[in-house]
Structure 1
C-alpha cells in the first residue's frame, strides 16, 4: 500500500505517519523504517528502500519527505513539441514501479504543501492505487472547532471565548496550540473546563499580548484601561521590573518616533531606524502625538528613578507602577 499525505498541516501529517509506525512491531519497527529525501530522490533509490526484505518479517515503512523541485510546480522552460521534460523520466519510471511495490512495504510521500489537482503524484495515485489524504490548516470557525475537539481528546472541555482567545493569539500554529492545550488540560485536570481565565494565566502568547495592550493604552492616555491591564498582569504574577521594562521600551519608541517625525523622516525609514515593523512605527507615531517631547523625556527619567527605587528596595514595585500610570495618563497634551 502507498499513500500521498500533502498539505500545510504539519501536525496532522506527522500524526498520520505516527499511526502507521504504531501498527508495526514495537521492537523491530524502527529497524524497518526508512526516511528518504524526496528532493533528490531517484526511482532506483526508492526501489532499493522499498524492495528490502523486512527484518524479522512484518512490515517495512518507507517515508519520502518532500518532492523533486520540478514536480512542485516551479516554472518550467517551454519545450518543443515532442521534446521530453527533464522530470518526465522520473514520473514514468515511478509509474512503472509502483504496481510492483511489495505487499510487505508501506510507502508514504509526505509533502508539506497542498498539491494541485493535476500534479503527477496525484495522477499516479488515481491510476496506481495510491491513497491520498489532504491536510489543510483550519482557519476561522474551523480553527476554533479544531481547538474544542483537541481539548476533548485530551480529556477536557473549553468554553467558546477561551477557544477564540487561543485562536486569536496563538493562531494557526497547530503544534503550538496542541502544546498549550496539553498544558491547560493538565492544569484543569480530568474532565475539567478550560476557561478564559486559565488561557490568560497560562498561555504565554496571550500574556505577551496583554502586556502590549497595557503599554498601548498608556501611549493612548487611556488611564482606566491601562490600570485595569496593569493590575491584571500583576495579579497574574508578572514581575514589576518586567512590566517596567516593557513600559520603558514603549516610551523610548514614542520619543524616537516623535523626533524622527520632526525631521520629516518617512514612516518606512522611521521603522528601519527604530528597528520595528512599519505598522508599529506608524502606531508609535500616533501615540507619541499625545505627549509633548519634553513630557516623553520626563517620563523616561521618572521610569529610570522607579527602576532604581525598585532594585534598591526604596519603592514598592506595584504601587510605584500604579502611581506612575495614574499620574501620566491624567496629563493631557496641550
Structure 2
C-alpha cells in the first residue's frame, strides 16, 4: 500500500506556527509586487497557491468580510495568504481615488466611526488564526503615528516602506546586477532621464539591454541610444532639460528634431518658458529650506529624482538670471506675435543666450 504525503514548502513550514502580519506602504509598486510574488511563491505550487490566496479590495471592505478569508483554514497547505489593498486608507476616511485623496500620507482616522473600525481591526489581529498571513497594502505612505505600525511591531510583523528611490541612476546600476549586467554610470543617468521613475519600464529596458550585451561588456550610452526609444515625456522635455543643463549642442540638436517633426515654434517657446518657471519655483523652495523629497511632494512628482534633477539644473543659474530670462521670453513672445522678430531666429538666439557661460 502506497503512502500518501503532502509536500510543504520550506517557507511554509518555517512560518506555520504563527500569524504573520505584513504592512507594505509607499508608491514603489514594482518592488512591492516583487515582495508579494515572493510571499506567493512560498505557498508552494501555483495550483495550491491559487486555492490558498485571496486578493481583496479594501475600499469597500468590512472587518466581517475580511474575517471570512483570514479565519478560513488552508486547503492542502499549511498557510493562507490574504492580501488587502487600500483598507487603511479607507479606514482613515481617505479612500484612494475618492474624495479626500489629496493627503500625502495615510493618518489615523479622525471620525469616531472610522476610529472604532480601526480599533476593531487592531483587536482582531492578535486573534487571527496562526495559519494565516495577512498583507495590508497601501500605495501612499503611512503617517509615522499610525496605530497599525505599533501593532505590527508588537505582533512581530513586518513593515516595509516602498519609496521610489531619489537616486534613480543608483537604482538602475544595482538593478542591472539582477540581470547579470553592468551599466556605466553615464548610461544609467541617460536611461533614468529617458524613462523616468517608471520602475517597471526601467526593469524591462535593463533586461533588453542585458540580453543585447550578453555580459560581454558594460551597457553604454550608445546601447541606450540604439535600443531605448524616447518616450513622449522625454521628447516633450528634451529641449527644456538641455537648456537647464546649459548644453548648447544638445539643445540645438533637440530643437532641430522638434522642428523637423512639425512642432510649432511658439509651442516650443512655451515649453522653454515652463521650464524656466519650474527652475525658479524649485530654486525658491530650496532657498526656503525644503528638501528634494518635500519639493517632490509639493509638486506632485512621483519621486525625489525629478526634484533632484531640477535642482541640479537650477544650480546652473542665479535667481536673478532666471527671472531676467523669463522677462526676455515675454518680450520675445510679443516680438514674434507683432511680426518684429522671426520665430526661428528668436529660438536660436534664445538658446545661445541661455546656454552661454
Where on the TM-score scale, by shorter chain, does this alignment land: which range?
Answer: 0.5 to 0.7
The aligned runs of 1:1-334 (5 Å cut-off) are: 1-25=20-44, 26-66=46-86, 67-71=88-92, 72-73=106-107, 76=110, 85-140=112-167, 143-205=168-230, 209=234, 213=238, 244-245=260-261, 248-251=262-265, 253=267, 293=339, 296=342
Instruction: State the Cα deviation string for residues 162-213 of structure 1 (Å, max 9, x = none).
Output: 1112223333222222122122222222354111111223222379746865
Q: 1:227 to 1:144 in 2, by over 3 A?
A: closer
Q: Which runs of 5+ in 1 are unaligned?
A: 78-84, 234-241, 258-266, 268-280, 300-324
| Deviation, structure 1 residue 69 | 2.9
Contact 2:79/2:133 (<8 A) preserved: yes
Contact 2:187/2:219 (<8 A) preserved: yes
User: Matches of 2:47 and 2:202 in 1, distance apart?
Assistant: 32
Contact 2:183/2:220 (<8 A) preserved: yes
Instruction: State the Cα deviation string for residues 109-161 of structure 1 (Å, max 9, x = none).
Output: 01111112210211211223322112111103xx2221101011111110011
- TM-score between both structures, scaled by the size of structure 2: 0.60
Q: Which moved more, 1:158-167 or 1:179-188?
A: 179-188
Q: 1:284 to 1:96 in 2, by over 3 A?
A: same
Contact 1:70/1:87 (<8 A) preserved: yes
User: Matches of 1:87 and 1:43 in 2, distance apart?
Assistant: 12
| Deviation, structure 1 residue 286 | 7.0
Contact 1:155/1:191 (<8 A) preserved: no
Q: Which runs of 5+ in 2 are unaligned?
A: 1-19, 93-105, 272-276, 278-325, 350-357
Q: Which moved more, 1:86-95 or 1:155-164?
A: 86-95
User: Matches of 1:126 and 1:111 in 2, distance apart?
Assistant: 17
Q: 1:2 to 1:329 in 2, by over 3 A?
A: closer
What secondary structure does 2:126 align onto? helix
User: Matches of 2:118 and 2:156 in 1, distance apart?
Assistant: 15
Contact 2:21/2:133 (<8 A) preserved: yes
User: Matches of 1:97 and 1:216 in 2, distance apart?
Assistant: 52
Instruction: State the Cα deviation string for residues 257-311 of structure 1 (Å, max 9, x = none).
Output: 9xxxxxxxxx9xxxxxxxxxxxxx99976776896838758x7xxxxxxxxxxxx
What secondary structure does 1:106 align onto? strand
| Deviation, structure 1 residue 214 | 6.4
What secondary structure does 1:253 align onto? helix
Contact 1:254/1:288 (<8 A) preserved: no
Q: Which runs of 4+ in 1 moved over 6 A?
A: 214-217, 254-257, 281-284, 289-292
Contact 2:109/2:115 (<8 A) preserved: no
What secondary structure does 1:139 align onto? coil
Partner of residue 354, structure 2: none
Which structure has the greater CA radius of gyration? 1
User: Matches of 1:95 and 1:183 in 2, distance apart?
Assistant: 45
Q: 1:229 to 1:92 in 2, by over 3 A?
A: closer
User: Matches of 1:7 and 1:34 in 2, distance apart?
Assistant: 21
Query: What value does the CA root-mean-square deviation take over the aligned residues?
Result: 3.9
